[in-house]
Structure 1
C-alpha cells in the first residue's frame, strides 16, 4: 500500500519525519453548546483530513495557551472530511496559512 492510498496518511505532503501529519488552522469558532469553549479545526493541505481541538477560554492570566498556525498529530487522530465543498474550503485555507505563517507562529 502506498502512502497516498492509506486513508490514515491522506495528504502525504503533510507527513512529518516522526510519523505525524502536519495540519494547518482552517477554522476557529465558539461553541454554541458550551460557554467559554473555542473550537479549533486544523486540516491537511489537501483538505481531506481534519483535527478538531476544543479549548476552554480562561480568565486566568497565568494560563496562556497560544494557538499555532499548524500542529503535528498522529494519523489516527484525524477525521475524514466528506463534504466536497468543505474539503475545498479547508484546502484553500490550509494553503493560505502555510503560505503566510511558519507552523509554530502564533495566530
Structure 2
C-alpha cells in the first residue's frame, strides 16, 4: 500500500502517476492536440502534444493515466489551476484504470 505522501503526490519508485485533466486543440496552423496530465493533488503536470492526424486509427490511443519520469513533470504555481487539475485528476483516478482509453 502506498504511503500517504505517494498517494498525494502520485510518485512511486517507477515514476510519477499523472491523470488526463485537459485536452485542447491548438488554434495555430500546426493542428495540435494538447494533452495535459496532472498528479491527484494538482501540484505537478505533464504536457504532450500530438498532431491532429495522429489521432486516426488505433495506434494513438489516449490513456487515462500515465507513469512518467520525475524529470518530465513541471510544477503548477497558480492555485486555481492546481485546484482544477486536482479535481479532474481525482475524478479520472476514481472512474478509470490508468490503461483505460479515454
TM-score after normalising by structure 2: 0.85
* Residue of structure 1 equivalent to 2:19: 24
CA separation of 1:76 and 1:59: change in aligned 2, threshold 3 A? closer
- Separation of aligned partners in 2, 1:59 and 1:39: 12
Runs of 4+ in 1 over 4 A off after TM superposition: 59-63
Going from structure 1 to structure 2, the CA distance change for 1:62 and 1:94 (only over 3 Å counts) comes to closer
Q: Per residue, is there more strand in 1 or in 2? A: 2
| Structure 1 gaps, min length 5 | 5-10
- TM-score, normalised to structure 1, is 0.81
Gaps of 5+ in 2: none
Query: How many residues end up aligned between the 2 structures?
Result: 97
